[in-house]
Amino acid sequence: MRKQIVAANWKMNLTIQEAEKLVNELIEKLPTLQINQEVVVGVPFPYLTMVKGIIANKANVFVAAQNCYTKDAGAYTGETSVPMLKSIGVEYVIIGHSERREYFHECHKMLTEKVERCFEHGLKPIFCCGEPLKIREAGLQNQYVETQLKESLFQFSAEQLKGFIIAYEPIWAIGTGKTASSEQAQEMHAHIRSVFQGQYGADIADTISILYGGSVKAANANEIFGKPDVDGGLVGGASLVVSEFVPIIEGLSS
């Protein structure tokens, strides 16, 4: 049974006081999660330890860093390594978000190295992929996303990618108010699964959780999560509002 996951990506938002209030309210109102369901909260680096402390005794709720560096240690001022994250109990790391690719020019090789560091130290990557609007309009989205996956992930073994987590984020639907239809989401998720099946076989492909990450809201979560190849969501702005985020989590069970 594949994991169903709703992951929050707070991005660069909230003060420490606001963050503490938000996560306490979230835990208070969190619905009961099934054994195969998880909530992952991706928070800014300064808040990882605080959030980890609040969720420590809550089953199936985990904290994620929003990034990591490609090296374990060294003269890399301002960076945060996977061993550092491991030492404070972080379980997940968001890798290759479109904003990291665009604003910080993260390439396929760099993302491979970040995933490799996570595997070496036992952290779980949430690997982001997705196409910009011009690629979608040209009808080249399948090839574009397939290249992202192959160039960064196909160096790894089937065993390493068993249970891996992909977040498909159509860049044209992030923070724009536009959302891919549930049919568009399913089409791409099925394609992503087929890409892994072609390389690693159906047994591995069927273990991979593929999350949708493009303006997920309470109003559309049920429909999107109900598609057979959609295993949850990577949620941006809506994760900053508990009254919006909780119904999204509840959409996993519908």
CA angle 237, 89, 161 (to 5 degrees): 75
140-146 contact pairs (CB < 8 A, 24+): 141/170, 141/188, 142/188, 142/191, 145/188, 145/191, 145/192, 145/195, 146/191, 146/195
- The active-site residue, picked from 99, 106, 131, 169, is 169
Residue 99: active-site member: no
Contacts of 239 (CB under 8 A, 6+ apart): 8, 9, 10, 41, 245, 248
CA distance 237 to 122: 29
- The active-site residue, picked from 38, 97, 189, 191, is 97
Residue 169: active-site member: yes
Q: Is 185 exposed, middle or buried (0-12, 13-18, 19+ CB in 10 A)?
A: buried
| Active site residue ranges | 97, 169
